[in-house]
Amino acid sequence: MYFRRYVKSCTRACLFSIELEKLQLTALYLENDPAECQKQPTFLSSNGLDMESGEILRHMLSGAFAGVVVEAALYPLDTIKTRLQVAKGGVRVSWKSLYRGLGNNLLGVVPASAIFFAVYEPLKYSLLREGDLPKSGAHLLAASSGGLAASLIRVPTEVIKTRMQAGHFIDARSAAWCIVTKEGFLSGLFAGFGSFLLRDLPFDAIEFTSYEYLKLSWKSITKENELKQHEAAVFGAFAGMLTGAVTTPLDVVKARLMTQGGRISRTSTKKERCQSFGTSRYSGISDCFSRVVSEEGWRALFKGVGPRVTWIGVGGGIFFFTLETSRRCLEQICR
């Protein structure tokens, strides 16, 4: 019910932006005639670099929808990958409850994805218009900035998700309560924040820059203005697989830092869970790197690389396919 209301509200907001876009487009077409432009309401700034509010909204809605689709479709692979990464020695990995924590994770995916594109698309647009940076540099900076803004929601969501996937908690509410009361709000819910940025900022930058490069290169070859949906899926999958493989060691460190603590029994009380939880093993990113290598070997930094590359490769294809498709659908609705 709430999801339907959310979709209806977003659709109304998108439709409300139609008239604003028409007015802005009129001003752009008449920009060579100052007298006429003054008669037309416009929402451009003095430097002419602002993106239309309706267009930003479409990017946010498309990104949020694509994030939900790919997260729901590939959550079991992500769970397996996390359990492989946090397992030490010959510990057996559980294949049960692979969807544990999905619902609560989606509550964080929607705003995080929307925030990412609210920053990424306008900044990319502005940087490309200014022309001070090469296209790849503009994409790198825009994606990194979007990832940094989205991390304020991604990190707490990721902390709770990874600990539930690792079997430390059985529900998100008790996980959040225990983490905050035992470790504190910032030190608990933002555990591994540095390693998360170390992994996700390069990840976002490499993936989106690779996708944009492939997209622009293919357009120049085919002389087409837009990618076909299957082309977006192929380029997204390739960009995702490449990025996933390169950033696996960073993901292992992130998972280890975020899941530090003892296992929680299903029959234990909330107080007992918090008492048995939270003995820190790693003091930071460098300590985690060095100890993983010294205690388990270099191969440990690539634990879960198979599921991760598969998950991100397939996920990249689904994500960019859904992103481009939903963006076109919203453009048609808002005309």
* CATH number of the domain to which 277 belongs: 1.50.40.10
Contact in structure between 307 and 84 (CB atoms under 8 Å): yes
Same structural domain, 115 and 194: yes
Contact in structure between 288 and 256 (CB atoms under 8 Å): yes
Let me know if 330 is exposed, middle or buried by CB neighbors in 10 A (0-12, 13-18, 19+).
buried
d(CA 128, CA 192) in angstroms, rounded, equals: 33
* pLDDT tens, position by position, 155-186: 888 888 878 777 777 777 888 888 888 888 88
pLDDT at residue number 234: 94
Same structural domain, 244 and 103: yes
Report residue 93's pLDDT band, with 50, 70 and 90 as the boundaries: low
Domain containing residue 7: 1-44
Question: How many other C-beta atoms are found inside a 10 Å radius of the C-beta of residue 87?
Answer: 15
* pLDDT tens, position by position, 116-161: 999 999 999 999 988 888 888 999 999 999 999 999 998 888 888 8
Same structural domain, 39 and 128: no
Instruction: Tell me which of 181 and 64 has the higher pLDDT.
Output: 64
Same structural domain, 67 and 136: yes
Number of domains observed in the structure of the chain: 2
Same structural domain, 37 and 60: no
Give which of 210, 200, 206 is closest to 236, Cα–Cα: 210
Report residue 319's pLDDT band, with 50, 70 and 90 as the boundaries: very high
pLDDT at residue number 51: 63
- pTM for the model stands at 0.69
Same structural domain, 12 and 84: no
The average pLDDT across 74-91 equals: 73
Instruction: Check whether 68 has a pLDDT greater than 90.
Output: yes
pLDDT at residue number 60: 94
Same structural domain, 159 and 237: yes
